[in-house]
Structure 1
């Protein structure tokens, strides 16, 4: 079992691990994918891992994550199990196509790839590389920036499996596809899941990605997804995390949008020891629309870092970023959001806002809003705030008979509600709303279950009409 220690750099250990297990990692895959892996490990060797001297990583230290004796599954170790016995959706009336990853490997009951009646293909990325090599090779690795500081190159070198989704032209997938990413290991585990989503012209898809742990053991998930939206395609994407304090999640999400495509992304972080979400969106052709929403609720010594880049490379596109966070105890948060407007991207409309509430003097939030504009006919704005609960609003609620604790909870609930109310799936929005309330009350602070599948059935509500305050 590899043990990363202070006597050997994390990069060197991973490079040696790759070379020692090379034959197993590349077994039965297309030569083009193997070549991509070799290029990626060369990037790791040349650039190393980012540190606190690296831009966009100044407030996030990766080094402690690698000081654990991680297990690596280079072949499918998934044991037979009945998913329904350990996992049941607790979002009332939410009907989805559910697909499961266990310790980074796709788990199936009938076949590793499923073709729906409308032609949509859902299944294992490893199997898709075998069955649809030309389609996978055409897209895989083409949007992921291996040279961007982070662990995208490491994922490209080590990924074994993940989710593959293909939506044909003009097809609207009638119900959401739900990715359930489960970690179940008695030992510390590092995984590198890889997802590839391809939407053809005019297609519509709703995708829900849920991270779930069955144990409290140390784990590191270094995930990467590449999503391609063809002309007039629409994607509504939800990434929801509610994991234990010993979990670390790093996810690189790359989106490429063609003409008149629409992307709506929602990142909801209710729990997790260490989280680094990196989102890169390229608006490659005119009249694209992008909305990036985020909410993070952290306490104890949890750390969350959201790094966003929206690259306006074509004219007449719109983008919006709204990320809000509530930090308690000694929690830390980082927001690094960038709007890039290239010379050709005239008539751009772009907006970015990050708001943070600190509940203690020890909590810290670092906001880095950025605009980089090379066009002269644009409307762009950005802003960031870090502060405490509004004392005037708190006083007003106290004069209406609320105790201080309830008044504080209500203000936090209303603050988070701006993001929650943007969730388009009604059953999901209602359940997330309930769980956010529980989280703010401290009732969900040690839950190690996926936010979509909490066992608590009884909803809790504030008997106050927020709109009348």
Structure 2
């Protein structure tokens, strides 16, 4: 049994886990451990993981840095942001630990906390207890239970009532290790009533070893709060990334999330959204570009439980060579959720004969006064459009590239940071041309 080695590891090194974390985080480990022992990792026998064998990633000799041994990397040397005019407050996670040697600490509005999850649990115990591990449900998710067992630090954004963080925040996740490594990250975003914040999260790989990354993100948007979270994955082909994002919204809140995968190895994104207050809006976007034998699996579940709310899901995948893509989306409109407007769109482009896409959009509606729809298309490049462009002097390969870039544009347009939109268009163009081999912003990879 694959899980047994991690059960033994947890029991053997529990004191080490506790010593290098905080008392508040440690208090959640036992319950998660009991769940993990009962359900283990998800397998392809589970309908939601039919095309993604998650358990196989852990059937390997992986190291865990349970004693917080310093990682020899200066993130300011390894990473230089090349998004022109993108002014952000910059923070780092090295593997799964917060980098506390910020060279240029930025001014933040009074009461805002951005930094280590460990430190937050000590300095803000009431807020930590109220929000941490509250919506990251692991009752049927062994990866989330596993992450809760082993996570020792993470990154938190806390914005109190009526406060706006005008300057976007940027978190850089850097994977670094001399041996094959298991990394377990936590991200917690708390926006209290009428608070506004935008966060860009970028994933980068430094070393040419295998990484298995579990990441659990919890987003809380209180009344009239606005939260934007954009994830940009630019990992190496040796990274398995198992990402679980949970979002919970109250009335009149507005949450935008978008996951952009420009380079990866094996990725599973598990998105779960709950709308709990009237007149709330949720917008979920996803874009993946894969080639070689890369794999991307986007699973999205959105629960409308109250009336007068709006949601919009737009996920697109471009597959080349022998890559595979999966999309499974479900919108649930509960009986009391009248006047719901919910839209789900999945568009996929197979740019080679050997690429494979599996898609399963779903609507489950129990209210009778709603506007809901879902749409799915999977196909090849439009021959007529190619002919039209070639007739105007554009060679075949350039026409293909232009059409693929255009195909991705409406997902990019969901992002509410204009300079990031512009840079993404450039990075996507470079990716299709083979110029973005591993990442766009990391000096090590250039």
Query: Normalising to structure 1: TM-score of the pair?
Result: 0.91
Q: Deviations over 1:253-291 (max 9, x none)?
A: 111101100011111001100111111111011111011
Question: Which residue is equivalent to 1:401?
Answer: 393
Question: Which residue is equivalent to 2:45?
Answer: 53
Stretch of structure 1 that moved more, 68-77 or 151-160: 68-77
Q: Deviations over 1:435-468 (max 9, x none)?
A: 1001111222x22x3x4457999xxxxxxxxxxx
Q: Give yes or no for contact 2:218–2:245 (8 Å, CA) kept in 1.
A: yes
Q: Aligned equivalents of 2:95 and 2:21: distance in 1? A: 20
RMSD: 1.9
Question: Which residue is equivalent to 1:467?
Answer: none
How far apart are residue 374 of structure 1 and its match? Answer: 1.1
Q: Aligned equivalents of 2:93 and 2:302: distance in 1? A: 29
Query: Match for 2:271 among 279, 287, 292?
Result: 279
**Residue 432 of structure 1 aligns to a residue in which SS?**
helix
1:128-207 matches, cutoff 5 A? 128-207=120-199
1:257 aligns with 2:266: no
Question: Which residue is equivalent to 2:305?
Answer: 313
Q: Aligned equivalents of 1:455 and 1:437: distance in 2? A: 21
How far apart are residue 67 of structure 1 and its match? Answer: 3.1
Q: Give yes or no for contact 1:90–1:454 (8 Å, CA) kept in 2.
A: no
Q: Aligned equivalents of 1:95 and 1:426: distance in 2? A: 11
1:185-334 matches, cutoff 5 A? 185-334=177-326
Segments of structure 2 that go 5 or more residues without pairing to the other structure are none
Question: Which residue is equivalent to 2:91?
Answer: 99
Q: Give yes or no for contact 1:78–1:105 (8 Å, CA) kept in 2.
A: no
Q: Give yes or no for contact 1:25–1:160 (8 Å, CA) kept in 2.
A: yes
Q: Give yes or no for contact 1:273–1:303 (8 Å, CA) kept in 2.
A: yes
**Residue 49 of structure 2 aligns to a residue in which SS?**
coil
Q: Aligned equivalents of 2:312 and 2:432: distance in 1? A: 26
Q: Aligned equivalents of 1:142 and 1:162: distance in 2? A: 16
Q: Aligned equivalents of 1:455 and 1:124: distance in 2? A: 25
How far apart are residue 114 of structure 1 and its match? Answer: 8.8
How far apart are residue 232 of structure 1 and its match? Answer: 0.3
Q: Aligned equivalents of 2:338 and 2:22: distance in 1? A: 41
How far apart are residue 339 of structure 1 and its match? Answer: 0.3
Question: Which residue is equivalent to 1:27?
Answer: 19
Stretch of structure 1 that moved more, 140-149 or 205-214: 140-149
Q: 1:456 to 1:214 in 2, by over 3 A?
A: closer
Query: Match for 2:100 among 108, 119, 134?
Result: 108
Q: 1:391 to 1:345 in 2, by over 3 A?
A: same
Q: Give yes or no for contact 2:195–2:224 (8 Å, CA) kept in 1.
A: yes
Q: Deviations over 1:291-342 (max 9, x none)?
A: 1111100000000000111110111000000011110000001001110111
Q: Give yes or no for contact 2:89–2:106 (8 Å, CA) kept in 1.
A: no
Q: Aligned equivalents of 1:190 and 1:40: distance in 2? A: 18
Q: Give yes or no for contact 2:20–2:152 (8 Å, CA) kept in 1.
A: no
Q: Aligned equivalents of 1:231 and 1:11: distance in 2? A: 41
Q: Aligned equivalents of 1:32 and 1:422: distance in 2? A: 37
Q: Deviations over 1:131-166 (max 9, x none)?
A: 222211111111011123351111111101100111
Q: 1:241 to 1:110 in 2, by over 3 A?
A: closer
Question: Which residue is equivalent to 1:464?
Answer: none
Q: Aligned equivalents of 1:193 and 1:427: distance in 2? A: 28
Question: Which residue is equivalent to 1:369?
Answer: 361
Question: Which residue is equivalent to 1:436?
Answer: 428
Q: Give yes or no for contact 1:29–1:129 (8 Å, CA) kept in 2.
A: no
How far apart are residue 79 of structure 1 and its match? Answer: 4.3
Q: Deviations over 1:189-236 (max 9, x none)?
A: 101111111111111100001101111210011010111100000011
Question: Which residue is equivalent to 1:76?
Answer: 68
Q: Aligned equivalents of 2:96 and 2:383: distance in 1? A: 46
Question: Which residue is equivalent to 1:10?
Answer: 2
Q: Aligned equivalents of 2:442 and 2:18: distance in 1? A: 35
Stretch of structure 1 that moved more, 419-428 or 370-379: 419-428
Segments of structure 1 that go 5 or more residues without pairing to the other structure are 1-8, 458-469
Q: Aligned equivalents of 1:248 and 1:200: distance in 2? A: 33
Q: Aligned equivalents of 1:107 and 1:250: distance in 2? A: 22
Paired residues in the alignment total 445
